[in-house]
Amino acid sequence: MRIHKLTISIVLLTALLGLSIACSKKPSDDTIAKDIQTKIAADPDTKDSQVNVTAKEAKVTMTGQVKTPAAQQKIEQIAREEPGAAGVDDQTAVQPDASAAPAPAPAQAMAPPPPPVEKPKPQPIVVPSGTTLTITVGQALSSKTSQTGQTFIGTLAQPVSVGGRSAIPAGSTISGTVVSAKSKGKIKGQGELDLALTSVTVRGQTYNIQTAVVAQTVKGKGKRTAVATGGGAAGGALIGGIAGGGKGAGIGALVGAGAGLVGGTLTGNQQIEIPAESALSFRLSAPLTLPPPAE
């Protein structure tokens, strides 16, 4: 019995002694930290990492920076496999890749370019009603020989401008019509010649125009009257022969109070004669719209 108790005592003493020896062999915190630090510096995957290792009560804490996520995982694995380590707190961070190109900044929406400045379009030229057109007739006209509906041709003697812009250049072709022509033989004791303009050709383009109808009548013993019709006040006038003399040189204009004018010589048999190259003046009874001149 005494031998049995002695045996139990020896066993318990041996166990306590072994436990004490085991505890005395447990690595210190400094040993754990240094060992992990050494392994990190020696491993080819983690040697370039800037890591600081500390241990307290066998709990390992790692701070600093590593170059890649793979290196971070490898460092944590080394710490966890360290003998004596009771836990691992990995506080390391992965360094940004300096070689990687920075992400392009989002493209800013570019403001659309301003629309091109357009030059103002040239505006048409409007020759107003009442504008005087002075023409030089190309053939003789007479109350005796001219026929109603007959066309006569002339050229513009004086240019017409509107607002400082040339509208109808001098020399433009003018067409007119004999509205009425009556000789003494047709109406006893009276000669009559009525004229109006119908078109003008400007820079190769022909435009219809309207002028007051101008009528001149000769009655009795050479008494002449002039009236304007179809356009209100003064419709036209005979200005006389063109400068330098001509068949119409010296022909006077017949003036009536507020009336249109048309002139001519009075023949012995009471006929109205307008020689070729005579200058006649007409007034527009309606505006004339012309395209702007080409620049």
In this prediction, residues 119-128 reach a mean pLDDT of: 88
Whether residue 132 has pLDDT greater than 90: yes
Segment 238-276, tens digit of pLDDT: 443 333 333 333 333 332 322 333 444 444 556 788 899
Q: Is 228 helix (H, G, I), strand (E, B) or coil?
A: strand
Q: How confident is the model at residue 95 (pLDDT cuts 50, 70, 90)?
A: confident
Q: Of 2-16, 159-173, 234-248, 267-281, which gets the smallest average pLDDT?
A: 234-248
Q: Give the Cα separation of 192 and 197 in Å (integer).
A: 17
- Between 279 and 264, the more confident residue is 279
Whether residue 54 has pLDDT greater than 80: yes
Q: Give the Cα separation of 88 and 72 in Å (integer).
A: 13
Q: What is the 3-state secondary structure (H, E, C) of 54-67?
A: EEECCEEEEEEEEC
Count of Cβ atoms closer than 10 Å to residue 85 Cβ = 20
Tokens encoding 215: 């009528």
Contact in structure between 53 and 82 (CB atoms under 8 Å) = no
Whether residue 226 has pLDDT greater than 70: no
Q: How confident is the model at residue 205 (pLDDT cuts 50, 70, 90)?
A: very high
* DSSP 8-state symbol, 11: H
Whether residue 133 has pLDDT greater than 90: yes
Considering 3-7, 163-167, 182-186, the range whose residues carry the highest mean pLDDT is 163-167
| Residue appearing with tokens 């030059």 | 119
Count of Cβ atoms closer than 10 Å to residue 83 Cβ = 9
pLDDT for 163:
87
Q: How confident is the model at residue 99 (pLDDT cuts 50, 70, 90)?
A: low
* DSSP 8-state symbol, 19: H
Q: Give the Cα separation of 68 and 22 in Å (integer).
A: 39
Burial class (CB in 10 A: 0-12, 13-18, 19+), 147: exposed
Q: Of 8-12, 28-32, 58-62, 199-203, which gets the smallest average pLDDT?
A: 8-12
Tokens encoding 237: 């006038």
Contact in structure between 285 and 230 (CB atoms under 8 Å) = yes
Which residue stretches of the chain are H helix? 2-24, 29-42, 69-80
Q: Give the Cα separation of 263 and 33 in Å (integer).
A: 131
pLDDT for 107:
62
pLDDT for 202:
92
Segment 140-162, tens digit of pLDDT: 998 888 899 999 999 999 999 99
Contact in structure between 144 and 191 (CB atoms under 8 Å) = yes
Whether residue 208 has pLDDT greater than 80: yes
In this prediction, residues 132-136 reach a mean pLDDT of: 93
